[in-house]
Structure 1
């Protein structure tokens, strides 16, 4: 459902409360500090894109704080991808202080306290992405939290261009089209993230980074292959099997375990998707598992409940299953 908020018709004494509620309902609970609450001006438009949401926020300068008490009752973690249009934003989370100017975008985690501010009137595009949607595409999204990424060229620029182009057209789209658009935006975002060396290994040389990038990309593109294993990956990426094992060992995992986790994360995304009509067994075979029982066993060991229980749980949590 699309929602719009504006302080234009709000009494001066009510603007602080009104904007606080608008922001908290769109993203998650936050504490706000206004430069001048009575004179504050802000507009917020929010579009539903299936699992993700896109918003455009125009407002005077403001300080947003995510406090520890806000996290007590939060369930699923989300990431905010924020694109400033007019002024620089300042962000601090987990001891990292970042300044993000127009021409870049910032990644914020919902499950950790933070401070976010801008002193001048600003326009922000914000893509809110659940971690369950982001993780199958980028592996460990924690690696890119509190980082600023270039959006003036390459896939970073394409991601921001797509956001600006998509918003005016959303009113013309039905729910399935919006859902697909949201997935495409996250796919393009993921491409821009994983191409950044900081996503791969902060202590690795450029050659190792390049190899790991190719390995991760190849595996995620070939999860349906039942014969996907160390030899196939090494051959496709032009490295030895021994070197592949060394790369994964430096990541704290093994090749086969990492492949299985990627399959489980992708299957979880499919189970969450209300438009996915595949049977659980069809999802298992589509992602390279040899049989339904094997898939269910691994899924339950990883997530704590069976694929069938997961689908029922997600259907109850989705907007279409709540009424």
Structure 2
């Protein structure tokens, strides 16, 4: 039997990456390539352990548009070194470090030497509801010597050794990891810019009127004393879209309501109370964001 050459082994491994982690393109850096991937699933906990050397993975807008962008990759460096890049930021990852990568934006991972890391898929709503600043720092190295980073690593490893976690327990573990990292992810310059203060006011305006049918970009811009174009630009600078942000906030609040809703409460009524007048649209949007229908989500929490 012929032994696969370097290119064949790389193509086979890249195919496995695409099935487990989403669409990536890739290239060999030299003849010393090696690559393995192990998948671990425990309800909401979906992660891959990647062992790789002498290769580069990247996601252009083409790869992003072909997959589901409702995730963040939370990358835990176990061994070796890797360079993670996104949006002009670069994190040189060493043992014990953690970083976030947004699945909805182009990114690049470079491995010039052997590296081993865990890529944990964290639903976007968990990250956004715990980091409400509007500016989620991606490709920023979280130093493995920080106590909260070490605690997050420990929680990840303990969760990996508990394959029988139920849906609620596994989602709680995901949220706990993000909550532990929140203090270091939200470190920022003490001088908050005028634009950031304006964005914070707009987000507060959205939250305070989230149930109103009048909550549209034109109304928000008028209330905030700015043009609609400026509103769009302000959100785009943070990698956000106004209408999508509003829809996701409403879906997050629907999910929160579903966790405590009784079995007799109508799903359409819950969606309607948070601004979804069309039940079919609500159900489709909810499943796209959370991976399950509103009814299944409620069953899991009950």
| TM-score, length of structure 1 as denominator length | 0.63
1:265 aligns with 2:252: yes
For 1:199 and 1:107, the matched residues in 2 are separated by 12
**1:142-157 aligned within 5 A:** 142-157=135-150
The reply to whether residue 185 of structure 1 matches residue 178 of structure 2 is no
Contact 1:46 1:54 (8 Å CA) reproduced? yes
TM-superposed CA distance for 1:251, in Å, is 4.3
Which residue of 2 is the match for residue 33 of structure 1? 27
Instruction: Give the CA deviation at 1:15.
Output: 0.3
Say if 2:54 is the partner of 1:66.
Answer: no
State the 1:72 CA deviation: 2.5
Distance 1:259 1:181, change over 3 A: farther
Per the alignment, residue 129 of structure 2 pairs with 136
Hey, what does 1:194 align to over in structure 2?
182
Residue 235 of structure 1: aligned partner: none
Structure 1: where are the runs of 5+ without partners? 1-8, 206-246, 284-291, 319-323
Check if 1:158 corresponds to 2:151.
yes
Match of 2:17 in 1: 23
- C-alpha distance in 1 between matches for 2:50 and 2:59: 18
Counterpart of 1:281 in structure 2 is 265
* Pair 1:101-2:85 in alignment: no
Q: Which residue of 1 aligns with 2:118?
A: 125
- Are the aligned partners of 1:155 and 1:191 in contact in 2 as well (CA < 8 Å)? no
CA contact (8 A) 2:283 2:293 kept: no
Offset from partner CA, 1:191-224 (integer Å, 9 cap, x none) = 233213x52764547xxxxxxxxxxxxxxxxxxx
Other-structure match for 1:51 = 44
Give the superposition deviation at 1:84. 1.2
**Contact 1:248-1:255 within 8 A present in 2 as well:** no
- On the 8 A contact 1:83/1:104 being kept in 2, the answer is yes
Please say if residues 51 and 133 of structure 1, whose CA atoms lie closer than 8 Å, have aligned partners that are also in contact: no
**Residues 166, 193 of structure 1: alpha-carbon distance in 2 compared, 3 angstrom cutoff:** closer
1:89 pairs with 2:79: no
Flag the 1:201–1:41 CA change in 2: closer, same or farther, 3 A: closer
Deviations 1:39-64 (A, max 9, x none): 53222111113234122111223211
* Aligned CA distance change for structure 1 residues 23 and 311 (closer, same or farther; 3 Å): closer
The aligned length equals: 251
Q: CA deviation at 1:309?
A: 7.7
RMSD between superposed Cα atoms in Å:
3.9
C-alpha spacing 1:117/1:307, structure 2 compared with 1 (3 Å):
same
Residue 296 in 1 paired to residue 289 in 2? no
2:30/2:55 contact within 8 Å kept: no
CA distance in 2, matches of 1:124, 1:309: 32
Report the equivalent of 1:252: 202
Partner of 2:236: none
* TM-score, structure 2 as length reference: 0.67
User: C-alpha separation between the residues in 2 aligned to 1:280 and 1:67?
Assistant: 46
Determine the C-alpha separation between the residues in 1 that align with 2:280 and 2:87. 29
Unmatched 5+ stretches in structure 2: 211-245, 297-302
